[in-house]
Amino acid sequence: MNFKLTYATMFNPPAEMHTRFDAALAEVNKSLGSIHALYINGEDRVTAKHDTRRMPIDQRRILGHFSLATVDDVNDAMTRPAAFPGWRATPMEERVRLLKRVARLIEERVYEIGAAMSLEVGKNRMEALEKCRRQRTFSTFTRMIMPDTTDSIILCPMIRFRISVRTIAA
């Protein structure tokens, strides 16, 4: 985003913001109705049962079919957090560097994430983009003060946007 989006600037954004949001929305619309796997310990896991989610503003349109976790899936996710020991041992300076990279990755995909959010929860484009901006800031801050997290930070499963400790360390 080339300008700083805030509640004060959201009432008169540049035309480029609308152009980029519309392009991202067109891309997200192409993936509607897909099957979305669980992501457990670094692997996608498609389950036998799915929950079909529809747009809140148009119930005829299907967002996607999202895998439902079984008891075994939950147990696997809770008993084998793949990145926990490594993240716990990571020095604070390195954590900060990695989390700044997470913030940059969110910023790079802010339009795609915002478009998915507008379809998923019914926010208008300005609210969705502002929410993404705040999520980036909040996520960075909370990961610094609550560092013992599991492997993946899933931000938007509908567009398969997730960031793992392995990804940001690269």
Residue 155 — φ and ψ, nearest 5°? -100, -35
CA nearest 67: which of 40, 94, 86? 40
Residue 60 — φ and ψ, nearest 5°? -75, -20
> DSSP assignment, residue 83?
T
Q: Is the pTM of this model over 0.85?
A: no
What was the pLDDT predicted at 1? 53
Give the domain CATH number at 135: 3.40.605.10
Residue ranges of the chain whose pLDDT lies below 50: 143-155, 165-170
Does any domain span residue 7?
no
Structural domain boundaries enclosing 106:
15-169
Does any domain span residue 9?
no
Report the domain count for the chain: 1
Does any domain span residue 140?
yes
Measured between alpha carbons, how far is residue 23 from residues 17, 111, 114 in Å? Answer: 10, 9, 12
